[in-house]
Amino acid sequence: MDEAKKRIFSAAQPSGNLTLGNYLGALKNWADLQDDFDCIYCVADLHAITVRQDSAELRRRTLETLALYMACGIDPEKVIFFVQSHVPAHAELAWVLGCNTMFGEMSRMTQFKDKSRSHADNVNVGLFTYPVLMAADILLYQTDLVPVGADQKQHIEIARDIAVRFNNNYSPTFVVPEPYILKSSARIMSLAEPERKMSKSDPNKNASVYILDGKDDIIKKFRRAVTDSEACVAADPARPGVYNLVNIYGAVTGKSEREIEESFKGVGYGAFKDAVGEAVADLLAPVQTRYKDILADRAALDRILAEGAEKAAYIARKTLSKVYRKVGFYQIDKKH
């Protein structure tokens, strides 16, 4: 890794099928960053268990997530890529940071409130304290920048607050991370409820296009997409269903809103929806082919994860050792 480059850290859970929104809004951007930054990417399986998981499915999805990230262009030769639970320092630092985080800060986190409502039968302590683990993920690697969409900036504010508090209490220890706003990040909305973001956990399978969906399924989903009664293709935010389709088509083809409006002037929604579906299917087809080839070589995937965990653990141990000294934990002198 080039120490002169700014360090970026980002992580995603291996839960649910990754969507077109994940690809255009995150994974494509992650791949674009890897040449200009010192990138560390993580499959956040520790975070995944704040809601109940099927054990075999979680293991399978962890490996599939790695293969899919690689298929989307992330190169393990250029980045550190690992599974969160393979580096114990994440959980270890989370405990120390938890002892430096206020109860009130956690109780105000909106995601805890949202997930408590959607998983009322399993409102566990991990669901409450997950932002501390998220802070540990970021601060372990002395991260300079965390890539987020403009609507997600608040997600790293708690990590910044914890870092500043620890630095003030114990002397400078952590880099205080900054959000790296992905200006070109496409915000892809649900096909069924275009006021909401497309989600990999949406129970309505027609609401989300998954990266691994076949062409026929993709086109069917776009044909069912919510629009309105005006039958006119326009980039108008006041018409969220059509506006979402225009955004998707623009993100996939590189065409401007004006070009799209001109191309489909006088054309009904049916032809426009088919055009969007075809364009998305064409975009995802080579990703799907690469994914199948990568996933077929289990030994290579295991090797990538082992090497990634070793590199990540080396950086993490240096930070954790510094933290343990600062808080006063006795450490054995290995020279003796």
Catalytic residue, from 6, 78, 200, 215: name it: 200
Q: Known catalytic residue: 200?
A: yes
* pLDDT value at residue 1: 47
The model carries a pTM of 0.87
* pLDDT value at residue 109: 73
Rounded CA-CA distance 290/59 in Å is 21
φ/ψ (deg, to 5) at 181:
-75, 125
For residue 3, name the pLDDT band (cuts at 50, 70, 90).
low
Asked whether residue 4 carries a pLDDT value surpassing 90, the answer given is: no
- SS3 per residue for 62-122: HHHHHHHHHHCCCCCCCCEEEEHHHCCHHHHHHHHHHCCCCHHHHHCCHHHHHHHHHCCCC
Q: Please answer whether residues 95 and 320 qualify as being in contact, where contact means their C-beta atoms are separated by less than 8 angstroms.
A: no
Q: Known catalytic residue: 115?
A: yes
Tens digits of residue pLDDT in 275-307? 999 999 999 999 999 999 999 999 999 999 999
Rounded CA-CA distance 333/307 in Å is 28
Q: What is the mean pLDDT of residues 74-95?
A: 97
Rounded CA-CA distance 278/315 in Å is 44
Q: What is the mean pLDDT of residues 213-237?
A: 94
Burial status of residue 168 (CB atoms within 10 A of its CB: 0-12, 13-18, 19 or more): exposed
* pLDDT value at residue 138: 97
Catalytic residue, from 6, 78, 197, 215: name it: 197
Q: Known catalytic residue: 197?
A: yes
Tens digits of residue pLDDT in 33-62? 999 999 999 999 999 988 888 999 999 999
Amino acid letter, 9: F
- The top-level CATH class assigned to 7-187+298-327 is alpha beta
Q: Report which of 163, 278, 259 is spatially closest to residue 220, judged by C-alpha positions.
A: 278
Backbone CA torsion sign across 293, 299, 305, 308: negative
* pLDDT value at residue 152: 67
Tens digits of residue pLDDT in 122-137? 777 877 888 899 999 9
For residue 334, name the pLDDT band (cuts at 50, 70, 90).
confident
Catalytic residue, from 5, 78, 113, 115: name it: 115
Tens digits of residue pLDDT in 165-196? 999 999 999 999 999 987 656 789 999 999 99
Tokens of 259: 């070009």
Asked whether residue 331 carries a pLDDT value surpassing 90, the answer given is: no
Superfamily the domain 215-292 falls into: Tyrosyl-Transfer RNA Synthetase (1.10.240.10)
* pLDDT value at residue 29: 85
**Extents of the domains making up the chain:** 7-187+298-327, 215-292
Asked whether residue 112 carries a pLDDT value surpassing 70, the answer given is: no
Tell me what percent of the residues of the chain surpass a pLDDT of 90: 72
* pLDDT value at residue 163: 97
**Phi/psi class of residue 176: alpha, beta or left (left: φ > 0; alpha: ψ in -120 to 50)?**
beta
Tens digits of residue pLDDT in 118-171? 666 777 787 788 889 999 999 999 999 998 876 667 678 999 999 999 999 999
For residue 209, name the pLDDT band (cuts at 50, 70, 90).
very high
* pLDDT value at residue 284: 97
Tell me what percent of the residues of the chain surpass a pLDDT of 70: 93
Rounded CA-CA distance 46/50 in Å is 8
Q: SS3 of 185, please? A: coil
Rounded CA-CA distance 69/18 in Å is 10
Average pLDDT along the chain: 91
